[in-house]
Amino acid sequence: LYEAITQGDDRVSPPPQSAAPAATRSGYPLVGRERERARLLGAYDSIRSDGLVVVIEGEAGIGKSRLAEEVLKHARDNNATVVATRCHEGEAGIAYAVIGEVLQQLPSRQVMKSSEAALLEAARLVPELAMEGAPEPASDPGAPARFHEGLREVITTGLAGSVPGVMLVDDLHWADSASLEVLGYIARRLEATPVCIVVAWRPEEAVGRGEVTNLATAATGSVKVTPTRLGLDDVRTLVGTDPTAD
């Protein structure tokens, strides 16, 4: 697959286009999650020189996306760069779909601070990033390492700022293997890179996918939050809330 991309093979599907990220679900209040929220925001605020991977793990409908939204809002309120994407069931065969969407969302002014070599590698997925012309086909033994390092540099440069940027990948259990490989590469190299990678997954869907569950354990630094089911009073509060009400 990597060889097909570096050789400019037209059979490789480009990342799906999206007008706006659909990784958060606004409207519902946060109920019964004060402890988890405090831990997530505390983890983000603790970032100094090294980056961090934050994992939100739980069954379907437990509120992972709503918790992740709190991290994004907190980061935005602090003027951080934020990008968010969601993986979809049945799209694991679209290579580099997650990474392509992330690259498309990063602020171009910040991304262009990357080296020309890194931009050229990233242009294999998003051609608009090439400063001059299209990247040449690459088949030498060092090509995969340059490709991954180029993606790492462009993404972390795009997230850089006076406060740590945040990249959210929701429903990671449905991510394509190529994107997971790149995310793992970045997660293992967060020294002196103050960014926050937030991922959310369902453990029952991640069974047998070590590249998902190993993302946090292989990271330079990580925090894991596992929300449990709400109590009866919290459920009543949530059910009684109409997010469309004025």
Q: How far apart are alpha carbons 79 and 167 in whole angstroms?
A: 14
pTM of the model: 0.83
Question: d(Cα 101, Cα 96) in Å, to the nearest integer?
Answer: 9
Give the whole-angstrom CA distance, residue 11 versus residue 246: 49
Kindly report, residue by residue over 126-175, the tens digit of the pLDDT: 999 988 777 777 778 899 999 999 999 999 999 999 999 999 999 999 99
Residue type, 51: G
Return the structure tokens found at 235.
Answer: 């459920």
- Summarize pLDDT for 4-54 with one digit per residue, the tens: 555 555 434 444 443 333 344 456 677 667 899 999 999 999 999 999 999
In tens, the pLDDT along 54-111 reads 999 999 988 899 999 999 999 999 999 999 999 999 999 999 999 999 999 999 999 9
Strand partners, 199: 55, 169
